[in-house]
Amino acid sequence: MNAEPEPPRADAAAEPVEPLLAVGVGPWPGGPDAWPDDPHLDPELLAGGDARNVIDRYRYWRMDAIVADLDEHRHPFHVAIENWQHDMNIGSIVRSANAFLADTVHIIGRRRWNRRGAMVTDRYQHVVHHADVAAFASWAAEASLPIVAVDNVDGSVAVDRADLPERCVLLFGQEGPGLSAEALDAASGVVEITQYGSTRSINASAAAAVVMYEWCRRWARG
């Protein structure tokens, strides 16, 4: 299989810090003697409070426990992004993939990508790397997953009228140039987002969120 899981980051001190929000919970009331007997919970968070960017269901949970629970419910669509220009939108797309519970995010091209927009959600999201489009397409074929490209090129079908399989990979390009010719050739279909103003295209991360939501509107359960 050509997909390569991203290796752990060697320099933990260089990792982005999980943003502290103006929401969350303080230390568990009553001190350690009152802590719940729940293996999901993190003693450090129980002692110090939890202001991470997570939904209330996961307050005080360990990170690995959150990932394991998400793995029980992930949707059967994947997200892939071409990474030739170190596009800052990639991090935002990863964040949306986490919000819409995508199975995995696939980075095609450069292994390094700008994580700032992810707001540390990549810690909860499976991310793998493919050296090039050919390696990615080979992986998708082996996994029997059709590739649905997202780009406003000739022949694109409006996403609200397009075939959007339950099991698929949604493939996004770079801000500006969009998808490469090789990526478009690898896709079984190309969809676009209907627009009504004067701009030729919308922001890549915004487009990704729209298409992921459309998938969830059709297929997400519960």
Residue ranges per structural domain of the chain: 10-66, 73-219
Q: What's the average pLDDT block by block, 10 residues per block, for the chain (222 residues)? A: 61 51 85 96 98 95 98 98 87 97 97 93 97 98 98 96 97 91 98 94 94 98 77
- What pLDDT shows up at residue 17? 59
Distance of alpha carbon 100 from its chain centroid, rounded? Answer: 8
pTM over cut 0.85: yes
What's the pLDDT at 14?
Answer: 46
Burial annotation 90-125 (CB, 10 A radius, 16+ → b, else e): bbbbbbbbbebebbbbbbbbeeebbbebbbbbbbbb
Q: For position 127, what pLDDT does the model report?
A: 98
pLDDT, residue 10, reads 42
CATH number at 73-219? 3.40.1280.10
